[in-house]
């Protein structure tokens, strides 16, 4: 039996995974229904966005609304003089509607956001100061989105270096929930027929292998394998991913494998 401590000692890690990240929101809803509210939050890419919304006091409906209403592709967002198809900086004003104070300090819970420093070749962890640039950088998946320039550095998707950022909250939380939406499960030959399918499969396996031990290091893990059939950029799969995350989390939490203190 896993005993869950009081919220102030609890942390949650939210992985990257594109549209599959809506499952994070399903998990947070299931936790809230059971009076469980993680205090320390660490996220990469979509996990950073969900984490920032949660840390800012948004409920599951508001979180889903953010992803429904934020345009993934807009013709006037196309990049002209930057690497990447879309200019990530054009999303700043969209994000300001949800985080008008644009600072980590304005959030109700401590948040750690992971991005990749492309010039230095290492991960970067943001937890204070301007919030929106860090969020944009963490979610700037190349080559679709242009890197974000901050303090003479060039930053892109945090999942490149660390798709499951356990490290930032490990020293703060005594109990850590892990939500991994970059899942892999056994597939058939028919699932690897094209070069695109092969590339997707090998990339997913590499990310999964790199983060496997960290995922196992969490006290309670949420990892719905059904998410694998949802495309990372398939906005039509948002509602399904949310429901998968919610249903999976309810099963885990109601299985008798944990108790709250």
Which residues are designated catalytic? 45, 157
For the record, the structure tokens of 146 come out as: 């242009």
Letter string b/e over residues 164-178, b meaning 16 or more CB atoms within 10 A of that residue's CB: bbbebbbebbebbbb
For the record, the structure tokens of 24 come out as: 């994070």
Q: Is the peptide bond before 143 cis (omega within 30 degrees of 0)?
A: yes
Residue 44, classed as helix, strand or coil, is: strand
CA–CA distance, 40 with 55 (Å, rounded to integer): 9
Residue 257, classed as helix, strand or coil, is: coil
CA–CA distance, 177 with 179 (Å, rounded to integer): 7
**Nearest alpha carbon to residue 20 among 195, 144, 183:** 183
């Amino acid at each position: 039996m896993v005993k869950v401590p009081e919220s102030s000692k609890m942390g949650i890690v939210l992985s990257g995974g594109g549209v599959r990240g809506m499952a994070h929101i399903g998990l947070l809803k299931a936790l809230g229904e059971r009076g469980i509210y993680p205090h320390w939050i660490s996220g990469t890419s979509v996990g950073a966005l969900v984490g920032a919304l949660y840390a800012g006091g948004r409920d599951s409906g508001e979180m889903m609304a953010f992803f429904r209403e934020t345009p993934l592709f807009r013709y006037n967002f196309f990049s002209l003089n930057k690497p990447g198809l879309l200019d990530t900086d054009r999303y700043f004003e969209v994000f300001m509607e949800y985080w008008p104070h644009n600072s980590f300090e304005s959030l109700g819970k401590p948040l750690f956001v992971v991005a990749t420093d492309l010039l230095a070749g290492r991960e970067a962890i943001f937890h204070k100061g301007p919030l929106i640039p860090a969020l944009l950088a963490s979610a700037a998946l190349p080559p679709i989105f242009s890197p974000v320039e901050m303090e003479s550095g060039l930053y892109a998707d945090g999942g490149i270096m660390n798709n499951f950022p356990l490290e930032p909250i490990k020293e703060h939380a005594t109990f850590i929930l892990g939500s991994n939406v970059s899942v892999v499960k056994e597939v058939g030959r028919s699932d690897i027929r094209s070069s695109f399918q092969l590339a997707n499969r090998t990339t997913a396996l590499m990310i999964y292998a790199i983060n496997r031990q960290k995922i196992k290091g969490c006290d309670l893990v949420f990892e719905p394998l059904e998410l694998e059939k949802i495309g990372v950029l398939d906005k039509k799969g948002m509602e399904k991913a949310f429901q998968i995350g919610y249903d999976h989390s309810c099963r885990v939490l109601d299985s008798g494998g944990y108790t709250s203190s």
